[in-house]
Homo-oligomer: A and B are copies of this chain.
Amino acid sequence: MKDNNDMPGHLARRFQQIAVAVFLAEVEDAGFDLTPVQYAALATIKANPGLDQVTLAGLIAYDRTTITGVIDRLVQKGLAERHPSSRDRRARELQITDEGRRTLRKITPAVESAQRIMLRGLSAKEAEELMRLLRKAIAAGNELSRAPLRDVQV
């Protein structure tokens, strides 16, 4: 039987496991309580004010059933708001709050530090190459998950 270390699936799981742990630790050290998933959602709402949940999900490749809970928690923390859309009564338009903007600004150094730490075993050149290869593999497999990335016009 092959070793676990020869299984890309196992390596993917381990790397993601470490990435999440590092992110949470850095963010908590900075005095905040925000998950990687919540951070990505909040940053994307800020960059695309008024977008609906399906569009948000497509921009960060989350499942639509996952995004509901994520936004619930962002709203509960006072970082985002959810309003019914006037153009489409099925849709909810998302907005970042002032508090959300403030949080994003203050949390940025911790997020960047986390990205460095999770690659600390690699040289700058290796880190760049790892990201290139991940991007390439992900692009080829994009449609294989239930929540593919969608290039949406907002």
Give chain A's interface residues, CB within 8 Å of chain B. Answer: 1-2, 4-23, 25, 36, 40, 43, 47, 60-61, 112, 114-115, 117-122, 126-127, 129-131, 133-142, 144-147, 149
Contacts beyond the supplied A9-B114, A20-B145: 7 A-B pairs with Cβ under 8 Å: A5-B131, A8-B127, A8-B131, A9-B22, A9-B23, A11-B134, A12-B118
| Choice from B60, B114, B136 contacting A4 with Cβ under 8 Å | B60
Residues of B within 8 A of A6 (CB): 131
- The count of identical subunits is 2
What is the distance, in angstroms, from A78's C-beta to the closest C-beta of chain B? Answer: 21
Known: A22-B144, A130-B134. A4 touches B122 (CB 8 A): no
A74–B115 Cα distance when bound, in Å, is 36
Residues of B within 8 A of A1 (CB): 43, 47
Mostly, the A contact residues are: helix
Residues of B within 8 A of A11 (CB): 131, 134-135, 138
Question: Is A130 touching B131 in the complex (CB atoms < 8 A)?
Answer: no
What is the distance, in angstroms, from A16's C-beta to the closest C-beta of chain B? Answer: 4
What is the distance, in angstroms, from A136's C-beta to the closest C-beta of chain B? Answer: 5
